[in-house]
């Protein structure tokens, strides 16, 4: 199958736009040897938004109901960019209809659901992928190579955070992300899963954790038509909705390989537009990353002479094949959208070659186990083990 026929569900949302662009763009940079994709259907339930969709994927069907895409025999891949609460139901229906599935994070509301999805896909030999795009920036392949080569020794401590301020302002309007019916685990499934994906990619499985989830602002005005973090101008006539899922969490964890983790994330860090960092401390050295310098790692190694030791800046550049496909010079920066382009290319290559690539639903399941453990631990106020 050289050309994969794709339906993008939630076509006019943020991720729907990015995924649709990514399928059309990846051959330009990454070539066609791993196959190509054609977006043949865009599904959008919001009629106002759907009216604008036709130009995004010329010739694609514009559908209102996701079931029509899932049951269409002329579609190979179902790409789910819908709110979190729909991921499980739609993914399951798509797998049972024999489709490959690329689902945005979090894969499901619970680890049990994620396990079921991974098992169905395995039994049917279908390709799966979860949209944990951030680690697909080539800079993180470099981090993984450095760790795998033993350059920083045995990992002892992993520290990471991800903060935004979309809900820093108490008057920022209510959205589906704050509704436990639509996003049952709140920031833990939304942002925590990004940090957990770095943990899975760089360190390994988590064996236990203790989490303190919290809500900062308990009610928000319902005001439509505003972007992330915009302040509502109140008229006094709006309704107010309860925030029913966590705004943030602080977590201690232990990894199966003996490393310890210290993780925090939130949507209420006033002033932090997007703070994403990790630090990996090993017995021979360490690595440090911040999204503010999106293609740069800092490496410290005990191999350097005493008196000359310090963090060395390494920019991933054209010596990396994936980076070179986009840019001929280092430090011109590959950002978020390029990570999604790389991800889309990998999804298509997996389908055409039959070789699944991380993060499949197996990784998605472990990440959902971590989410489950955070919710349970915070409720109990105790450490929780992960099988
Ligand atoms: N990987 C990442 O970095 C990343 C970033 C943002 C969001 N996400 C994930 O992507 C998913 C979508 O998030 P978003 O920010 O794009 O949301 P969004 O609100 O911008 O888009 C969701 C779209 O789905 C549509 N929709 C809702 N219910 C529908 C239904 N039943 N049928 C068809 N269309 C429907 C909405 O009208 C909207 O256009 C979420 O699961 C989120 O967690 C991932």
pLDDT tens digits for range 74-104: 999 999 999 989 999 999 999 999 999 999 9
pTM: 0.95
251 pLDDT tier (thresholds 50, 70, 90): very high
**CA 44 – ligand 1 centroid, Å:** 10
Instruction: Give Cα separations from 126 to 97, 256, 280, 347, 361 (angstroms).
Output: 11, 29, 34, 12, 11
Q: What gap in Å lies between CA 160 and CA 288, rounded to an integer?
A: 10
- Indicate whether residue 346 lines ligand 1 (CB < 6 A): no
Residue owning the nearest CA to atom 7 of ligand 1: 15
Q: What gap in Å lies between CA 172 and CA 229, rounded to an integer?
A: 6
Q: Which of 134, 166, 199 is the last residue of a domain?
A: 134
CA 171, 174, 175, 181 torsion: positive or negative?
positive
Residue owning the nearest CA to atom 22 of ligand 1: 13
Residues forming a β-bridge with 290:
277
Tracing tokens 């639903």 back to the chain, one arrives at 361
Query: pLDDT digit string (tens) for 185-198?
Result: 999 999 999 999 99
Q: What gap in Å lies between CA 163 and CA 210, rounded to an integer?
A: 19
**CA 83 – ligand 1 centroid, Å:** 5
Query: pLDDT digit string (tens) for 4-17?
Result: 999 999 999 999 99
Residues 14, 157, single domain; the answer is no
pLDDT at 1 over 70: no
pLDDT at residue 228, as a whole number: 64
Instruction: Give Cα separations from 262 to 17, 144, 280 (angstroms).
Output: 34, 19, 11
Average pLDDT, the chain: 96
Report yes or no: 206 and 253 within 8 Å, Cβ to Cβ. yes
Residues 100, 30, single domain; the answer is yes
**Structure tokens belonging to residue 36:** 């190509």
Query: pLDDT digit string (tens) for 302-335?
Result: 999 999 999 999 999 999 999 999 999 998 999 9
Tracing tokens 């190979």 back to the chain, one arrives at 76
Report yes or no: 287 and 297 within 8 Å, Cβ to Cβ. yes
Residue 344 lies in a domain: no
Q: Which residue has the higher pLDDT, 146 or 223?
A: 146
Residues 304, 193, single domain; the answer is yes
Residues forming a β-bridge with 277:
161, 290
Residues 310, 254, single domain; the answer is yes
pLDDT at 288 over 70: yes
- pLDDT cut 70: percent of the chain above it: 98
Across 239-246, average pLDDT: 95
- Indicate whether residue 83 lines ligand 1 (CB < 6 A): yes
pLDDT at residue 234, as a whole number: 83
Q: What gap in Å lies between CA 365 and CA 383, rounded to an integer?
A: 20
Mutate to test the pocket of ligand 1, among 9, 13, 50 (most ligand atoms within 8 A of CB): 13
**Structure tokens belonging to residue 102:** 């690329």
- pLDDT cut 90: percent of the chain above it: 89
pLDDT at residue 229, as a whole number: 59
Report yes or no: 101 and 78 within 8 Å, Cβ to Cβ. yes
Q: What gap in Å lies between CA 108 and CA 220, rounded to an integer?
A: 26
> Residue 278 belongs to a domain with what CATH number?
3.30.360.10
Q: Which residue has the higher pLDDT, 273 or 231?
A: 273
Q: What gap in Å lies between CA 184 and CA 158, rounded to an integer?
A: 27
Residue 319 lies in a domain: yes
> Residue 83 belongs to a domain with what CATH number?
3.40.50.720
pLDDT at residue 157, as a whole number: 98
Write the DSSP assignment of 187-235 as a string of letters.
HIIIIIHHHHHHHHHHT--EEEEEEEEE-S--EEE---S--TTPPP---
Residue 153 lies in a domain: yes
Q: Which domain holds residue 175?
A: 138-333+366-385
Residues 161, 85, single domain; the answer is no
Residues 78, 188, single domain; the answer is no
**CA 84 – ligand 1 centroid, Å:** 8
């Amino acid at each position: 199958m050289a050309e994969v026929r794709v339906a993008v569900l939630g076509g006019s949302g943020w991720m729907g736009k990015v995924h649709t662009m990514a399928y059309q763009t990846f051959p330009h940079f990454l070539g066609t040897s791993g196959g190509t994709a054609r977006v043949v259907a865009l599904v959008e339930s919001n009629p106002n938004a759907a009216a604008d969709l036709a130009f995004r994927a010329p010739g694609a069907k514009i559908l209102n109901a996701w079931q029509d895409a899932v049951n269409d025999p002329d579609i190979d891949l179902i790409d789910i960019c819908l709110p979190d609460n729909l991921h499980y139901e739609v993914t399951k229906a798509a797998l049972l209809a024999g489709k490959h599935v690329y689902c945005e994070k979090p894969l499901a509301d619970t680890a049990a659901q994620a396990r079921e999805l991974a098992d169905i896909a395995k039994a049917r030999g279908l390709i799966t992928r979860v949209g944990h795009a951030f680690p697909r920036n080539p800079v993180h392949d470099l981090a993984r190579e450095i760790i795998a080569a033993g350059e920083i020794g045995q990992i002892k401590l992993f520290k990471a955070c991800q903060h935004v301020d979309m809900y820093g302002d108490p008057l920022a309007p209510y959205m589906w992300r704050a509704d436990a019916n639509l996003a049952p685990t709140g920031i833990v499934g939304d942002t925590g899963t990004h940090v957990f994906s770095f943990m899975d990619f760089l360190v390994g499985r988590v064996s236990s954790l203790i989490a303190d989830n919290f809500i900062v602002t308990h009610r928000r005005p319902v005001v439509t038509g505003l972007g992330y973090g915009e302040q509502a101008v109140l008229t006094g006539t709006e309704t107010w909705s309860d925030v029913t899922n966590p705004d943030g969490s602080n977590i201690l964890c232990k990894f199966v390989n003996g490393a310890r983790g210290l993780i925090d994330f939130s949507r209420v860090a006033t002033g932090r537009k997007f703070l994403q960092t990790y630090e990996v401390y090993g017995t021979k050295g360490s690595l440090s990353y911040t999204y503010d310098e999106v293609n740069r790692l800092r490496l410290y190694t005990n191999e350097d002479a005493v008196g000359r030791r310090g963090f060395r800046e390494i920019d991933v550049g054209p010596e990396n094949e994936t980076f070179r496909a986009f840019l001929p010079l280092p430090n011109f920066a590959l950002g978020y959208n390029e990570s999604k382009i790389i991800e889309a290319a990998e999804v298509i290559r997996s389908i055409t070659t039959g070789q699944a690539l991380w993060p499949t639903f197996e990784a998605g399941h472990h990440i959902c186990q971590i989410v489950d453990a955070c919710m349970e631990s915070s409720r109990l106020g105790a450490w929780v083990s992960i099988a």
